[in-house]
Structure formats: C-alpha cells, structure tokens
A and B are shown apart, each in its own frame.
Chain A
Amino acid sequence: MLIFEHNREGRRAYAQAPRQQMEHTDIPASYRRRARALLPEVSELQVVRHYTRLSQKNFSIDTQPYPLGSCTMKYNPRACNTLAMLPEFLARHPYAPDRFGQGLLACLWELQELLAAVTGMQGVSLAPMAGAQGELAGVAMIRAYHEARGAHERTEIIVPDAAHGTNPATAVMCGYQVREIATAADGDVDMAALKGALGPQTAGIMLTNPSTVGVFERRIEEIAGLVHEVGGLLYYDGANLNAILGKARPGDMGFDVIHLNLHKTFSTPHGGGGPGAGALGAGKRLYEFMPIPIVAREGAQYRWHTEADRPQSIGRLSTFGGNIGVLLRAYVYARLLGREGMPRVAEFATLNANYLMARLRAAGFQIAYPQRRASHEFIVSLKREAKELGVTAMDFAKRLLDYGFHAPTTYFPLLVAEALLIEPTETEAKEDLDGFVAAMCRIRDEAREDMAFLKNAPYKLAVRRLDEVRAARDLNLSWKSGV
C-alpha cells in the first residue's frame, strides 16, 4: 500500500506545521498556485508505521550479509552516525563564517591530511559528492593540465574493457574519446594492447587496482612508465582500495590523480544509493588543478580555500562544500581504525575473499581466475551451470535472497560469462562465509532437481520475481489517484 492510499481529507500530523496560516496575500494571484499538490494526508503515527514497515522490506548490512562485489558492503559503525549528527554540526549554515566552524574544519583538514598520507598523494580535495563526480573532476584535471601546456592533440582516454561503466561515461563527459583495451587471460591489462593504444593522442588512462576482475595489476609500475613516457597521465579509480588499504599506495604506483569512495573503503553508509563522497587526491603534476573548496590551516585557524586562493582549480562541483556529513563519518571511522587498523582492513578483507574463493572452488564452482590470488573480491563464473542445468547467475542471485544473503554483483565485469563478483569484506565472520558456501551448494542441488523452481525464485521476500520488462515498457513512474 502506498502512503497516498492512507489519505483522508483533513487529516494531518498537527504537531509539525506552524499552528496558523499566515498572511501571504501580498504575493499577487498570478504568481500563486491554484490547487494544492497531491501529497499525503495522514497522521504522524501512520507515517511512522508506514515507513517502518517499508524499511523492513529492505536487505541491508545491518540485517544480512551483503557480498556485493565492488561495493564494499562492510559494517557502518554507529558511532560515525551519532557523532556526525551532533546538533552543532547539523545547525551550521554553509555560509556561516569559518569561525563558527573551526571544530568541523579541524576534522576535515585532518581527514584531508590522513587520506593524502594513506594514498601517497600530495594533497586531497573533499569536494566530490560521489565516486563518479570524483572521476569527472579527476579527468577534468587531466584535461586542464594538457590544455595549460597547449597539448590540444591529446584527445583519447584509455580504459580497460573490464572497467566500471562510470569510467568511459566520465571520459566522454570531459570531451574525450574512449579507447578500450583488452584484458589478458591472466586478468592483467593486455600489455600489447596497451602499447598499441598509447601515442601522442593519449591524454591518460583510467585504471582500477586491484582491478574489477579482483586481481592486483602486477605490471602497474611498467604501465605507469609507458603512459608517462608518451606524456599521458594515470587516473586511479579507488573503488577497490579496501583491498590494499595501508599495504600499498596508489601514489607509489605512479598514479597522478585518484578518487576514493569514502562510502566503500571508509565505511560511510550507502543509504539505499547515496549520499556517497568521492575524495580526490592529486600528485604534484595535478595538485594545482584540484576542485574547490579545500580546507586550509593557517596557524591555529582553519578556513576554506576558494577560487581566489586557487586560480588554477577546475572549479566548483557543488553549491557548497560537498557532502560534509559523510566526510565527518569517514573521519570518525578513520580515527577508530588508526594506523594499526587500516592495514588490518586490507588483510582481513583479503583473507575473507581468498577463503571464500577456496571454499567455493573446493565445492566445485568455477573461479574466473583460479591461478591468481583474490584481492578483496573474486569472480565465480556460472557458465557451466548455465549450460548443464539451464540456470543463470540471475537465478542463483535471486535464490540466495531466500537464504538470507544479499546477492553478489551479477553480470559484471562483462567479459566473464555468468559472472558473480563476490566481495565478503573484513567485517563478516567465518560462519557467515560458511553459510554462503552452503547456500550456493544447496541452490545448485535445487537446480539439479528442478530447474523451473529456481527460475521462479525468490519465494520468501516481500515480492516474488519482478517483471522488469513490463516496468520499462509500460512506464509507471508516479502514482495517480483513481488510476
């Protein structure tokens, strides 16, 4: 039932709006709306009950293991939320003078410093509001760098075929052509393809390391050397930083600019699809082009650097200062982990992934890159199950929901058939990983017995399998009374 279906004319949550209708008749009628908008007409209790019930129809980290590859669904410590929501932090207007935000700015400045140290970059801007916006800013910085040198012939960004979809989409938004290169059979970049793609037209390359196929790019230093040799720059997509946090640094690998998904590695919540935060780090070549604002420390005081302080900046990405509340959560998390806790994140994320991979392989599932170590994630290919039993990665995914596991990422990366990209994260206990293996084996047994049964999963959730074709064909994107 939709909230609107509870509507009764004249019903309201009386405690919430001002008691009286104030005078506004000096706004001429030609500017005023003629009829009230369709909005709920319900009591406060009805609101509470309706949305509490809706929340119970969600899977979440707080309720189920969530091994969604490339998404780093780890525990979001509650302290991060509680402390980011202290009333003084919530009450501050973005245009309030900096002196009313010294406590906040101290946290943000320390976060910038800490992220720069962890990634080996010269400096960090916290401005991007999501990973994709960090990418946009980073590639725009690459473009600004080349343009400042008059290198207008550099029109191409190289992207591996296994890259996240945001990489090519970003390159296009920055006015570049995308040159896709293949992945070799061992999961690393195909060096011959890379050498063939590099040239005077190369503006840069976008890489994720460990890559989206869940392995560490072993020849990264050689790649960086080749790209720099032709005058290109390297962009690091930080989606998979959880695998190497505190163990190896993108700056040392030769990357010129990176973004971090703070909602992955630094455990800020995903919130059902945002808000994220895509902190950006830059090395010496690109430092001056970073987006504003950036927090600066001057003596014992902190203040925001804006256009006037950073004339080479590619500019502003948000109305104000980015997703400040998310940044505070990341700061609290980083301090709780500290220097000791960060490498442990990488160690146990990697231990969990390799354990789960070993168990699934022993159980007879096909691993996409069996000769390689898993990073913090790995791919199972259900190609054989699809061929022999007629069930797909999607069928496995839907049935896993019935067993109380959120599904892994399905059909990504595209170069592996019937892919399940599995990322258990460091916060899952061994018995939950064992439970996942048991569920996968049972689902395979079920497929052997009755393929049609799996085709119709899930059975135990709020709804059965949804008709997505119909959703796209007969578009129904908002509710209309009486329809």
Chain B
Amino acid sequence: MPFIPHTEQDIRDMLNAIGVAEIATLFDEIPASLHSSLPASVPSQVTEMEITRLLHERASRDVQPACFIGAGAYDHHIPAVVWELTTRGEFYSAYTPYQAEASQGTLQVAYEYQTMMVGLTGLDVSNASLYDGASALAEAVLMAVRGNRKSSARRVLMPATVHPAYRRVTETIVRNQSIQLEAVDYEKRSGKLNRAALERWSGEDVTALVIQQPNFFGCLEEVHELVDWAHANGALVIAVVNPIALALLTPPGEWGQSGADIACGEGQPLGIPLSSGGPYFGFMVCKNAYVRQMPGRIVGRTVDAEGRPGYTLTLQPREQHIRRSKATSNICTNQGLMVTAATLYMSLLGAVGLERVAAACHANIRSLLDAVAGIEGVRPAFAGPLFHEAVLQLDAPARQVLERMAGTGVLGGYDLSQSYPELGQAILVCATEKRTDEDTAAYARAMQKALRVAQRA
C-alpha cells in the first residue's frame, strides 16, 4: 500500500483497541446513500518507476526555445544552492509556523526576507509574502482603501501601463467590494502614463494611484512627479515594482517628496523558476503607518524565556483565524517556500551581484535593440529610458512573426495586439542576463527572416 505503513498485525490490534471488527465500520455514520466507489475513469495506481517514465516522456515534448519573453516573468540565472537548500525536508515539509519554538528556521528566514525587502524598496515594513504579483496588487488596492481615511470615494486609478493581467486579477478580487478602478491612458510617443489624463482627477476624491515601475512596456515612469501629484490630491500611492530593477532604480520609499505608501510586485525574478507561471510569490512592503492594514503573515523578533532572540508570527489579530469576518483579508497561507528560495537568492547575489544582474539585463536589451535596428519593418514604439524590456512595432502581423520565430527556436516576445490594439502590430521583448551575444544574433536573424516571409505573403 503506497505510503501506508500498517502491517496486518497493526490493523488487527488497532481495530481491537477501537472495538470494531473491520475498517468499513468506521464509516457507518456516512449515510448509505452517499457511499460510492471511484469511477473507472480514475486510473489505476502506478509505481514510481512507471510515473517517472511517463513524466520524462512528457517533459521531453516540452523542450523550450531561447526565451525573449518577459511580461511579468523573467528568465534569470538561479544558483544551484537555491533549490538544493529550499527543498531540504525541514523547509519543504513544514507547516505554517504556528508553533514558533518548533519553527525558528522558517521564521528566521522570513524575518531576514522581510529585512531584505525593506532594504530593496526603501519602505518600513514587509509582510512574509502573498500568492503572486497580480494578487498582491489586488490586496494592495484593498489595503489602500482601508488605509486612506481621508478618502471616501473608494476610487483607485489604475493606469493602462500596469500589466493587463494584474488589472484583470484586481478586478476579479475587488469586484464585489464596490471599489471603482479607473483607467488612466498613456502617451503614445513615450509609453508613459499620460499626465494630462491624470489631471482630469485633480481635486477629485481619489483613494489611491497605482504606478508600475518599470511599467508594463519597460518604460520608466516619472515616479517623483506622480507621487507628488497623488499626495497633493490626498491619494495613497501603490508602487508595482520589479525587485531586480530595484538594484538600479530609485526605491519606492524615495519616490517624490514623501515616497510611495505601499509597494508590491512579483517575486519570481528572485530565484524562482519560470515553471509556466507558478508557484511564484507576491511581495508587499509599506510605510509604518499602514502596518495594521497589511494582509498576510508578518514575522516579528522577540525574546524567549531566557532573554535570547527568537522569531514568531505577530500582529495576528489582523488575520482571518482570529478576526474571522472582520479580518483584513481571507489570506491564510503565503508562499513560504518561495520566500526561502528568494532569501537564498538575495544572500548569494548581495547588493553588488543584484546590481550586476540588473545592469547585464539592461545592456542585453540595449544590444538587442541595436541588433534589430537595421531590420526593415521593425522599430521601437517608444522613445525614452527603459529597463530590460521594450516594445517593437512591426510591419507584419505580430502573431505570425512570433509563430515563425518560434519555429526557428526563438520565443520572440509577447504579442500586445489583444491588450493594446491601438499599438497596431506590436510585441514586448525582454532580455535577461542569460541571453548571450549569440542568442541576440539568432534573434535578429529569426526576426528578419520571419518579417521577410510575412511581407512576401
């Protein structure tokens, strides 16, 4: 019996102790009408050898081409140490650290992680993670609505330069709480949030402004001006940031005169494999003033009975298992194992290493843009500073070009035509530090060939 240790003798002894003749009797409180057996469509058990063969065969069908797609998930180098240690049984198979004394490993990791996120973002307090970037933004919106006592409008400005999937997820999660998510357009020339479109809201009751930096197009927003505008209008600022970019870019805590109020985003770039989209983790960091509005687990440092330092979950009265219907969120688990990986990643890279990774990504997108600059039918959509991603406009249908490129072993980018039809045939392309000069040359060749075929057709 897979994973069940009982011998025949054990079973007899245990049934005797209970005082029943057979295991079936233990199910006698379930009404007879509800007893069922599994339909034949549920497959029969297999051995580890058999399932290993099957999964290797399936994995072999999924060999991946060189990846120039970003759009919220990034193909960075992951040190071997990260997952060797993260999958140690003591991390892998532990529960949420409710018994703090028996969970000091998990708890100290989370406290160190919180410290690192505070350092990267320049804000005061980090939680111990949320599910992913998009759902973290949804939680940040709910938190801003609770936290902005000066605003009663429940109105959050959600620029079109924020990741389209983040906007959709936020809608799904906050839809039933009568919160207005208002779109703000972007400038067609720069790809940045349109200040004129924002001015429309000057003097109105605005609860919060969301700013993604770098934005979904890879363009750098004028974060200082935007934060000052928001604060002048009584709105809180929610920053959506990329943790690798933060090694180079101004941290949200230093945006404008007084800094963003909440920062959140996708933690995947910090040592989490692409894995078709998950599991990743969301991070959330805020100013001290809002700590009691923050959702999710938070780890605090305290002392034990002998005065030695130790770590424990704290501020639990915010949470669902204590407050029930009055909790800040229904969130229960976080993404503890992913945070362990991210903490290891940040420890191995350090500030200098992260800066090198970020700079290498940036240099690589620059060389990619140079490499495609001479190709007829391709041009950058936006002028202005960017980080590790860029929008290219094509003279041929983006979908066909990307499909042809994939056929020659290059994932050429993310097709923007569905979310941003006004950009015409446009793709979002990304280069990380893993892309080599050869990859870049192959990209340019594949792009040129795909365009030539498409133009001929």
Contacts and interface: CB of A to CB of B under 8 A. Distances in A.
A271 B91 contact: yes
A166 B332 contact: yes
Contacts of B103: 57-59, 272
Given A274-B129, A336-B47, A351-B6, 19 more contacts: A16-B77, A33-B254, A37-B116, A38-B119, A60-B94, A92-B275, A93-B69, A101-B276, A166-B320, A273-B97, A274-B334, A320-B132, A351-B18, A355-B17, A406-B102, A412-B321, A462-B104, A465-B305, A471-B300
A129 B59 contact: no
Contacts of B10: 429-430
Interface centre among A37, A85, A169 (most CB of B within 10 A): A37
Contact of A427 (B3, B52, B61, B353): B3
B333 A276 contact: yes
A426 B4 contact: yes
Contact of B46 (A42, A325, A335, A407): A335
A86 B61 CA distance: 12
Nearest to B250: A33
A477 B44 CA distance: 49
Interface in A126-143: 129-133, 135-136, 140, 143
Interface size class of B (residues with CB under 8 A): 35 or more
A320 B106 CA distance: 27
A341 B224 CA distance: 59
Interface string A17-42: 11011111011101111101111111
Contact of A24 (B28, B52, B363): B363
Contacts of A20: 356
Interface string B96-113: 111111111110110110
The 7 closest A-B pairs by CB, nearest first: A320-B277, A338-B45, A62-B89, A271-B337, A103-B58, A94-B277, A17-B353
Interface stretch (B306-314, B371-379, B437-445): B306-314
B445 to A, nearest CB: 20
B312 to A, nearest CB: 5
Interface string A307-340: 1000000111111111111100000100111111
A102 B61 contact: yes
Contacts of A132: 320, 330-333
A58 B104 CA distance: 6
B289 interface: no
Contacts of B448: none
Contact of A47 (B43, B89, B114, B344): B344
24 contacts: A12-B350, A16-B349, A24-B248, A37-B120, A38-B119, A60-B91, A91-B273, A93-B64, A94-B277, A96-B64, A129-B132, A132-B332, A165-B324, A175-B177, A247-B27, A271-B92, A271-B335, A373-B27, A461-B102, A463-B101, A466-B310, A468-B314, A471-B314, A477-B300
Given A118-B42, A338-B46, A475-B314, A22 B251 contact: no
Interface in B255-309: 266, 273-281, 291, 297-306, 308
A3 B169 CA distance: 36
B236 interface: no
A165 B323 contact: yes
Interface size class of A (residues with CB under 8 A): 35 or more
B26 A350 contact: yes
Contact of B95 (A13, A32, A68): A68
Interface stretch (A193-201, A248-256, A279-287): A248-256
A75 B59 contact: no
A4 B301 CA distance: 15
A304 B9 CA distance: 49
A66 interface: yes
Interface centre among A82, A426, A476 (most CB of B within 10 A): A476
